[in-house]
Structure formats: structure tokens, C-alpha cells
Amino acid sequence: MILVTGAGGFVGRNLVTRLAGEGVRGLVRDRAASAPVDGVELVEGDVTRPETLGPVLEGVEVVVHCAAITGDRRQPYRGAYDAVNRVGTANVVRAAESVGAQRIVLLSGLGTRPGRRRSYMATRWGMEEAVRASPLSYAILRPSVLFGRGAPLIRALAGLVRSAPVVPVLAPRCRLQPLWVEDLVSCLALAAREDRWDGRAIALGGGEQLDMSVLMRAIVEGLGVRRALVPMPPALAAVPARAMTLALSRPPLTPAALELLSFDNVAEPDVCRSEFGVDAAGFRDHVQRCGLEL
């Protein structure tokens, strides 16, 4: 049995759909609010409440841990990034150990590293450290920014483009390697089924490397609008990011997202093919064929 945590989220939902019928259980916080998936057992639990995890892990051999607050989302309460990401992962690991699970596959993020205290990056590094400290076998997958139907970052950037005739381009020279969610799901599914990637943290990127200014131009063209794009260093965006995070329930920009734009977000070219045999799509080609899939 495979358990996918965060099965109601962007990656988790796509992963359980892919694994449907293969003996997969999806952990969600609210089963009544979650759309059922044929061939998937949805179970209710909360990674911040350890007492809810033991029963849902009974009979599980492999955990694919996708439950996290991503940097494009604001904290629902102070300290939530740490409570869900770092502490929540430690809770899942301990529960998996207690029921005799064998392996855990962690969904992390490209560029994850030690961060300053209380930073978003520190909570993501804490997720990896919790897995590495466990006696369980593990594999860590670190994808670049994601695109595909409903991808939060692309949707947020598209909302920014729609909202004004002049659009700031944050960190215009920051290089990205956007990864199609279905290609990530292919890699996660293989890592869940096979142990040949155990003990490794693998950086994953899509079929094209581009900088933020090119990404924004592709979004403008995908929306079929005309916009002036104005470069803006991340340092100048810190104040509006904090203001939008305080004022809006779904801000187009968060301080955590700015952390992730402070360094190039790229992996080795063709890494999905060389590691997993997955021929990863490029962002601009995909948009031309399928649209932005907002």
C-alpha cells in the first residue's frame, strides 16, 4: 500500500489519480470537501496532529509525502510554514516508523538548503532533515517551479498580468526550469514503486531553461493580451509582497516566493530523462500546444 499525503493539493491530487487502482491511499484534511477519485481510498488526517496519523498509516509500506505549504501561499497563521512543513514531516516520519513502513519519498523543492531562522527555506530544509534522520529508506525529489492545469505559481503570475497594463517582472534574470506536473508525477510514481533512487536528493527540471522575463512574456502571449513588462529587483518587491500577503487571501506575491527567486532554479538539462526515462516537456512548447491551463 502507498500512502500519498497532501492528496488534496496540486501535486498530490495528480499523483493519486495516476496511481489509482494500484493500492493507493490519499491523506486529506477534510474528506467531505475532497472530490473522490476512482480506485483511491481517501482518508482523513492532519500532519500537524500526530494522533490522526497512526490509523491512516496501518498497512502502508511506502509514503509519498506531498503535504506542505508552498511558498506561493501565505501562512494561514503565524508559524504555519514551520508547523506544517518541518514539524508535520517529522510527525509523518515517526508515524511511518511506528507502523513498520519501509520507505518514504519526499516532495521537496529545487534549491532547498539551510535557511535563516524562521525563513520559509528553513522549513523546507527541515522537511528534508526529518527524512534523512529517520531509519526509513528515503528518496527526495526536488522539482523546479511547476506548470500544468491549475499550477498555483503560473495562475498567480497570470492574475498579476491580467490586473494591470504595466506588469513588474520580479528577478528578471533569475533562471528557471519549469516542470510539467505530469512529468513530476511520473518521476514520483517511479520512485514510489522502486527503490533504486533511495538515499538520494534529486534535482528535477523541465525541458527548457529560461529566465523570469521570458517566462512572463510567454504568459502574456498565452493570455493573448498586450502588457508592458518592467524589470523589478526582488529587494524592491519586498514591501508590496508583505502588504499583499497581509491584505489578500490569495496574494499574487508572498515574501516566501521572493526567497525562491533569490537564486537560479535550474537542474541539469534532460535530468528527468537521464534519471527516470521521462522526456520532460518545455514550458513554452506546452503553452503553445495546450494553453496556460489556468
By residue count, the chain amounts to: 294
| Residue 17 contacts residue 33 (beta carbons within 8 Å) | no
Give dist(CA 146, CA 125) in Å, integer: 19
Give dist(CA 136, CA 111) in Å, integer: 23
Burial 246-265 (b: 16+ CB within 10 A, else e): eeeeebbbbbbbbbbbeebb
pLDDT per residue, tens digit, the chain (294 aa), is 999 999 999 999 999 999 998 999 999 998 888 888 899 999 999 999 999 999 999 999 999 999 999 987 888 899 999 999 999 999 999 999 999 999 999 999 999 999 888 899 999 999 999 999 999 999 999 999 999 999 988 998 898 899 889 998 988 899 999 999 999 999 999 999 999 999 999 999 999 999 999 999 999 999 999 999 999 877 777 777 777 677 666 777 787 877 877 788 999 999 999 999 999 999 999 999 999 998
Q: Which of 149, 142, 167, 143 is nearest to 157 (CA)?
A: 167
